Amino acid sequence: MGCSLACLCLLGCVLYPLAQCTVPASEFRLEGDYLIGGLFEIHYEAFPTFHGRPQTMDCSSKFLILSNYRRFQLMRFAVAEINNSTSLLPNVTLGYEVFDHCTDAQSFSDVFKLLSVNNVIQPWNVPNKNVSKVVAVLGLFSSTSTLTVAPLFMSDFIPLISYGSSSSIFSEKAKFPSFLRTVHSSKKVMEVIVKILQYFKWHWVAFLYSSDDYGTDGLKLFIEKIKDTEICLAYTHSLDSSHYLSVFNQIDAQRINLIVVFAPHWHAIPLVQAAIRHNVTGKVWIAGEAWSLNKELPKEKGIKNIGTVIGVSQPVVTIPGFEDFLYSVKKGNRCESTEQQFCNQIYNCSQESADILAADPSYSFSVYSAVYSTAHALHNVLNCDFGKCDNGIPISPPVLLAQLKKSNFTLLTERVQFDENGDPRFGSYAVLFWNQTGDPENFGTCCFYPSVKIFINDSKIQWHSKEVPISQCSKDCKEGYAKRIEGIHQCCFKCEICPNGTFVNRTKDPFNCIDCEEHQWSAAGSTSCLPRTVEYVAFTDTAAVVILVGAGLLLALTLAMCVLFAINYNTPVVRSAGGPMCFLILGCLSLCSISIFFFFDKPTVAFCVLRFLPFVLFYTVCLACFVVRSFQIVSIFKIAAKFPQAHSWWMKYHGQWLVISVTFVIQAFLIIVSVSSDPPSPFRDIVSYPDKIILGCFMNLKTSSVSFVLLLLLCLLCFIFSYMGKDLPKNYNEAKAITFCLLLLILTWIIFTTASLLYQGKYIHSLNALAVLSSIYSFLLWYFLPKCYIIIFQPQKNTQKYFQGLIQDYTKTISQ
Ligand SMILES: *[C@@H]1O[C@H](CO)[C@@H](O)[C@H](O)[C@H]1NC(C)=O
Ligand SMILES: *[C@@H]1O[C@H](CO)[C@@H](O)[C@H](O)[C@H]1NC(C)=O
Ligand SMILES: *[C@@H]1O[C@H](CO)[C@@H](O)[C@H](O)[C@H]1NC(C)=O
Ligand SMILES: *[C@@H]1O[C@H](CO)[C@@H](O)[C@H](O)[C@H]1NC(C)=O
Ligand SMILES: *[C@@H]1O[C@H](CO)[C@@H](O)[C@H](O)[C@H]1NC(C)=O
Ligand SMILES: *[C@@H]1O[C@H](CO)[C@@H](O)[C@H](O)[C@H]1NC(C)=O
Ligand SMILES: *[C@@H]1O[C@H](CO)[C@@H](O)[C@H](O)[C@H]1NC(C)=O
Ligand SMILES: *[C@@H]1O[C@H](CO)[C@@H](O)[C@H](O)[C@H]1NC(C)=O
Ligand SMILES: *[C@@H]1O[C@H](CO)[C@@H](O)[C@H](O)[C@H]1NC(C)=O
Ligand SMILES: *[C@@H]1O[C@H](CO)[C@@H](O)[C@H](O)[C@H]1NC(C)=O
Ligand SMILES: CC(=O)N[C@H]1CO[C@H](CO)[C@@H](O)[C@@H]1O
């Protein structure tokens, strides 16, 4: 019986009309034309216990959070200031109705009180429905509490202005249409934290969070923000259990030096105290704004051992007049007796004003601006102008909400505005550390508008390790080394040197060695590619000049020989040398030399064609001439005697010219076919030297090989006929000279081929030109020059008689 009575009593406290709660002197209430509802977690049950039956919350017995009480006083101060003001809401008194909301999900009496009119909660569609005097509600601090009560206000579009719930979910206007806040979303805070981590190059990070909506949202956002950065989340753990030792052990085992603690202070403080107790040393702690401005923790004994604490917070704003207000309020304060209060509007006022002032000052401006936003919106709805308002008109919540969203006024130094999600479009963050004296000291700021920018001056900061601590899984690679990931984290890697021909750009992609482009090269371990030098032999090069002079001399020599031969055309030496054929050979040799001029400078298609075409074509003719010459010599002395018919046929049909012409036509045809099917083309040799590109010509050996086979065939025939005539009379023994020339020719090309196998530099093309030149010279010097010598210096040997004598000698030896 007693029990059920007690239960009824408690229930009554929740639901019963709350007449006896109106105690005028209470801090929690102020009568006014319009009321602002307030929900403050002055007391808080951080670790709820299990109840076997329904119970009302008696908040005053819970853990007192002085910083929240300070915020509550700040709201009262703001309202008093607005009431005092003659420009803002003139002749309108603003009141408030505040409740202590000390649990996340168990206390709703305060919410119902705010929603009800005359202690009745009215359905939406009642006609002439009585409008509540509560125009907007300020609250709450914790994201979880806000999440549980917000839907009740959202259904009627009653503006709910939070000064502390930063969970990102509240930006979703589809779910929270009448929610606004004067604190930045955790999204922004995470951005700041990640910027700090990046600034100090801390890449190996532990993230400890509270398992409530604030912490889990923070974790989600953190993972999202570090996705495209070099930061690795090495370890995460929620803080609801108190097995801190195992958490610290794991963090130590993974050699993590950086711990982000994203939790309300009632979770963070026990953690840090445990860290001190368990001798955790040498860490960098990143404090979210929920505990970075805590007053007691930085003064705790042994806090310096745990390392350096860095925090983010809204800048501490001194609200002018607040201190005086607090002292004046507390001086005249009589502590009301408990019986007179409505539940959860009790505060055991044993605290001194100084203690309250010294409490964590964070979120001051949030509370202050929230009250002022409401006042300004009300001001606009009531058409306040020239010192008076349309006083007394009922305010419909959606109208006020619309004005709230349009807020645009200056408060202290900030211009207060909201973005389309009801998030603040003002304010900044301060980056601070806990200094030697246990005070938070700023060393950076972070601006949000138009984009997140961080300014850090770390010269002030005193690190526990004297220099900037590092938190990395693997040491950063040296320049030119690429990271090879080991395991699942991109922060753990081996360093591998990038081989030559590749480079690594650590800012762009530290994991891959990227191949240099074709026209570039790099040594092993490079960070960029260097352009290759393009090499070719210019006309001005010494080698080119020497060879070109040689070619010029050759032409002059050929011309001189032609003239000499023409003058002595009818002498036996010239006739034995071939007579008219001499001029053909000399002509062809000079035409061959055209090729030489195209082995220099940058090759073009024309150059490549001309390098090869004149030489092959006209050298074929030369060789054909020599074949014919040596054949004729042999045939005169050997075949004519045995096969007189064949000889006369040969003479009759000008067999020699026929052979030469046919060879010429065949070679010309072969060359035309090969050039037209796949013309020789300029070619950049990028293989032979890593740092050079050699310009040359590419010749398709498949199609042009027939031409060369023909040349070889002619050489071979030449050899055969020369060999057959090796014992002929001395003056007619051109065969020996031809053989020598051929040997020289073959030797030249063997030397060239060997050289080109060993050396691929730019001078290989000069060598090629030299080989061509030498091929031409070999005939000129060893075949024609001796004849010139005889013509000029031994005219006695250049007589019919002398020749006949030799032939007679020969016939004698044969017949012997
Ligand atoms: C309100 O005005 C009175 C008298 O002008 C002054 O004493 C009081 O400090 C003011 N209160 C605030 C909060 O400004
Ligand atoms: C102030 O409001 C009251 C009623 O709320 C009204 O009687 C009084 O005339 C108003 N004073 C001015 C200056 O508007
Ligand atoms: C509004 O309040 C008055 C008394 O304050 C009451 O008589 C009336 O019934 C209420 N209207 C509604 C719709 O609840
Ligand atoms: C911490 O260190 C102190 C002395 O440095 C030692 O007395 C204490 O036992 C240590 N505590 C733990 C939990 O290791
Ligand atoms: C207020 O708190 C003090 C100690 O902090 C305690 O002794 C006192 O009983 C409390 N009073 C009430 C009414 O709870
Ligand atoms: C806010 O007010 C200022 C000054 O009154 C004005 O310049 C600015 O355009 C306003 N901004 C918006 C978004 O209305
Ligand atoms: C710590 O910071 C406070 C406030 O920023 C400053 O007044 C104090 O001089 C600093 N202490 C040291 C040792 O730098
Ligand atoms: C950083 O702060 C130091 C003093 O703490 C000051 O001397 C220095 O000029 C500052 N550097 C910048 C870039 O602001
Ligand atoms: C580049 O590396 C390859 C393979 O290791 C090696 O054969 C070559 O000599 C190197 N070139 C240079 C220029 O170091
Ligand atoms: C690396 O990449 C970045 C971004 O693309 C570029 O700005 C930088 O110049 C590159 N560094 C080198 C050495 O190529
Ligand atoms: C002008 C006016 O009404 N000022 C009142 C504002 O509210 C405070 C109480 O918080 C009163 O003391 C002022 O008289």
Which atom from ligand 1 is nearest to the alpha carbon of 83?
A: 1
* pLDDT on residue 132: 83
Would you say residue 119 has pLDDT above 60?
yes
Q: Which ligand is located closest to the Cα atom of residue 24? A: 11
Whose alpha carbon is nearest atom 3 of ligand 5?
Answer: 350
Which atom from ligand 4 is nearest to the alpha carbon of 278?
A: 13
More confident residue, 20 or 286: 286
Ligand 10 centre distance from Cα of residue 514 (Å): 12
pLDDT digits (tens, 9 = 90+) for 412-425: 988 999 999 999 99
Mutation test residue for ligand 8: of 454, 457, 458, the one with most atoms within 8 Å of CB: 457
> Is 176 within 8 Å of 194 (Cβ atoms)?
no
- Residues forming a β-bridge with 36: 96, 136
In the Cβ-directed half-sphere of 293, how many Cα atoms lie within 13 Å? 20
**Rounded CA gap, 470 and 489, in Å?**
17
Residue 321 tokens read as 């007049």
364: helix, strand or coil: helix
- 436 C-beta closer than 6 A to ligand 7: yes
CATH classification of 542-815, choosing from 3.40.50.10800, 1.50.10.10, 1.20.1070.10, 1.10.540.10? 1.20.1070.10
CB proximity list for 82: less than 8 A, separation 6 or greater: 88, 89, 94, 371, 372, 375
CB proximity list for 432: less than 8 A, separation 6 or greater: 292, 310, 311, 312, 313, 440, 441, 442, 443, 444
- Residues forming a β-bridge with 258: 205, 284
Q: Which ligand is located closest to the Cα atom of residue 299? A: 7
**Rounded CA gap, 51 and 628, in Å?**
124
Once rounded to an integer, what is the mean pLDDT over residues 29-37?
90
Tell me how far the alpha carbon of residue 611 is from its chain's centroid: 48
Residue ranges of domains in the chain: 25-46+58-123+130-184+319-327+347-423, 186-313+435-456, 481-531, 542-815
In the Cβ-directed half-sphere of 359, how many Cα atoms lie within 13 Å? 23
- 315 C-beta closer than 6 A to ligand 9: no
CA–CA distance from 189 to each of 23, 201, 446 (Å)? 41, 18, 10
Ligand 1 centre distance from Cα of residue 84 (Å): 6
> Is 620 within 8 Å of 664 (Cβ atoms)?
yes
pLDDT tier at 732, thresholds 50, 70, 90:
low
> Residue 234: phi, psi to the nearest 5?
-80, -30
537: helix, strand or coil: coil
Q: Which ligand is located closest to the Cα atom of residue 480? A: 10
Helices (H), 332-363: 353-358
pLDDT tier at 335, thresholds 50, 70, 90:
low
**Rounded CA gap, 165 and 635, in Å?**
116
Would you say residue 9 has pLDDT above 80?
no
DSSP code of residue 314: P
Whose alpha carbon is nearest atom 1 of ligand 11?
Answer: 84
pLDDT digits (tens, 9 = 90+) for 365-406: 999 999 999 999 999 999 888 778 887 777 888 899 999 999
* pLDDT on residue 620: 92
pLDDT digits (tens, 9 = 90+) for 492-508: 899 999 998 899 988 88
- 250 C-beta closer than 6 A to ligand 2: no
Helix (H) or strand (E) holding 307, with range, is strand 307-313
- 299 C-beta closer than 6 A to ligand 7: no
Would you say residue 681 has pLDDT above 70?
yes
Ligand 10 centre distance from Cα of residue 459 (Å): 29
Amino acid at 702: K
pLDDT tier at 23, thresholds 50, 70, 90:
very low
- 83 C-beta closer than 6 A to ligand 11: yes
Neighbours of 768 (CB within 10 A): 22
Residue 28 tokens read as 């929690």
* pLDDT on residue 1: 31
Question: CB-based burial of residue 718 (10 Å sphere; 0-12 exposed, 13-18 middle, 19+ buried)?
Answer: buried
Q: What is the mean pLDDT of the chain?
A: 85
Whose alpha carbon is nearest atom 4 of ligand 1?
Answer: 84
**Rounded CA gap, 171 and 173, in Å?**
6
If we measure between CA atoms, which residue out of 745, 739, 709 comes closest to residue 724?
Answer: 739
> Is 92 within 8 Å of 33 (Cβ atoms)?
yes
- 500 C-beta closer than 6 A to ligand 9: yes
Give one DSSP letter per residue of 759-803, joined into a string: --STHHHHHHHHHHHHHHHHHIIIIIHHHHHHHHH-GGGSSHHHH
25-46+58-123+130-184+319-327+347-423 matches 542-815 in fold: no
- Residues forming a β-bridge with 683: 696
3-state secondary structure 478-533: CCCEEEEECCCCCCCEEEEECCCCEECCCCCCCCCCEECCCCEECCCCECCCEECE
> Residue 303: phi, psi to the nearest 5?
-65, -25
More confident residue, 344 or 295: 295
Q: Which ligand is located closest to the Cα atom of residue 407? A: 6
Topology (CATH) of 25-46+58-123+130-184+319-327+347-423: Rossmann fold (3.40.50)
Q: Report the range of poorest mean pLDDT among 110-119, 201-210, 535-544.
A: 110-119
pLDDT digits (tens, 9 = 90+) for 762-803: 888 899 999 999 999 998 888 888 888 888 888 888 888 877
Helices vs. strands in the chain: H and E counts, helices first: 24, 27
Radius of gyration of the chain (CA): 52
CA–CA distance from 522 to each of 498, 517, 527 (Å)? 10, 10, 8
If we measure between CA atoms, which residue out of 683, 681, 665 comes closest to residue 673?
Answer: 665
Whose alpha carbon is nearest atom 2 of ligand 3?
Answer: 130
Whose alpha carbon is nearest atom 14 of ligand 8?
Answer: 457
* pLDDT on residue 576: 78
- 460 C-beta closer than 6 A to ligand 8: yes
Once rounded to an integer, what is the mean pLDDT over residues 143-166?
91
Torsion of CA 797, 801, 807, 811, to 10 degrees: -140
More confident residue, 214 or 27: 214
* pLDDT on residue 815: 65
Beta strand pairing status for 681-685 and 692-698? antiparallel
* pLDDT on residue 747: 93
pTM (predicted TM-score): 0.71
* pLDDT on residue 4: 36
Superfamily grouping for domain 186-313+435-456: Response regulator (3.40.50.2300)
Would you say residue 336 has pLDDT above 60?
no
452: helix, strand or coil: coil
* pLDDT on residue 18: 39
